[in-house]
């Protein structure tokens, strides 16, 4: 997969949500923003500094919590935030199945 770019309006939107993107170095070591396929679930997610900043924001806002190992749980607050702030329907809303977050199965909350 090739790299991805984050537009100025995208940065402003994510910063407005609380993602710590402005605090990242201008040229971060490693990948800044890139689509990635999870090796175990075979589902896409956002890798790099931008993906990490969004993940940090989700934990700090109480939208996600750690379950076990790599698994995370999408909280009811997170489900609402994804719908209202990011216009994303979780898998449980779309299909009735357990939600998947960042390519990982999570326990329904």
- Domain coordinates of the chain in residue numbers? 8-105
Tell me the pLDDT tens digit for each residue of 47-104.
888 888 888 889 999 999 988 877 888 899 998 888 887 777 666 555 555 544 444 3
Task: Please state, in angstroms and rounded to a whole number, the distance separating the CA atoms of residues 95 and 35.
Answer: 24
Half-sphere exposure of 25 (CA within 13 A, CB side): 6
């Amino acid at each position: 997969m090739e790299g991805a770019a984050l537009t100025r309006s995208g940065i402003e939107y994510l910063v407005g949500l609380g993602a710590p993107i402005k605090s990242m170095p201008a040229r971060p070591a490693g990948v800044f923003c890139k689509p990635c396929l999870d090796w175990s679930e075979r589902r896409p997610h956002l890798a790099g500094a931008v993906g990490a900043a969004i993940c940090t924001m989700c934990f700090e806002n109480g939208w996600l919590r750690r379950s076990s190992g790599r698994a995370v749980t999408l909280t009811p607050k997170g489900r609402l935030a994804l719908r209202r702030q990011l216009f994303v329907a979780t898998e449980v809303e779309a299909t009735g199945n357990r939600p998947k977050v960042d390519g990982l199965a999570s326990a329904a909350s």
